[in-house]
Amino acid sequence: MTDILAVQSPLTLKLALFVGAFLVAAASALVRPSIAAKLLASIEASPGVMHATAAVTAFAGGGLLVAHFDFTSITAALVTLTAIWWAVEGLGLLAIGHALKIASPQSVRLYALTNIPALIIGVFLIIAGVFGQLEPTP
């Protein structure tokens, strides 16, 4: 099992812990449709909140990509793919978020379901960040 947690960069281990903790904290609440519905309704009702949320998400994803674009291990790939996900989601919401009906019952259900993989990825990244090891350099 330690091979699955081996990475080439110490930055990957630090980011895995940070990104994993964020995913677990956010997704643990958002997997519940009752909480997701209130969040999405408040974002949809306020274009300013939508824009600010989208900007922060895009900036966080883009910033992570500048610092970490690495697919050399499962952990590194999950950190990078999460950054890509955040960048695309944020930029998409900046561009068309005002036109989306994100608080519909179908959207709420889908949003809650998509947070299940985020929760699982977050737990894996926390484990990798805590127990992961650097691969020996040749």
Q: Give the total number of structural domains in the chain.
A: 1
The pLDDT tens digits for 81-134 are 999 999 999 999 999 988 888 889 998 999 999 999 999 999 999 999 999 999
Q: What is the pLDDT of residue 100?
A: 85
Apex CA 78: angle with CA 76 and CA 80, to 5°? Answer: 70
Kindly state the percentage of the chain with pLDDT values over 70.
97
2 inside domain: no
Is pLDDT of 1 > 60?
no
49 inside domain: yes
Q: Which residue has tokens 């590194």?
A: 76
Q: Of the candidates 105, 131, 96, 100, which has an alpha carbon nearest to the alpha carbon of residue 3?
A: 131
Q: Which domain holds residue 91?
A: 11-130
5 inside domain: no
Is pLDDT of 137 > 90?
no
Residues 6+ apart with CB under 8 A from 56: 90
> How high is the mean pLDDT of the chain?
93
6 inside domain: no
Is pLDDT of 138 > 60?
yes
138 inside domain: no
124 inside domain: yes
Q: How far is CA 56 from CA 7, 91, 94, 102, 105, in A?
A: 28, 10, 10, 18, 25
What H or E segment, with its residue span, contains residue 70? none
Q: What is the pLDDT of residue 87?
A: 98
Is pLDDT of 2 > 80?
no
1 inside domain: no
pTM above 0.85, yes or no: yes
Mean pLDDT, to the nearest integer, of 65-90? 97
Mean pLDDT, to the nearest integer, of 58-80? 97
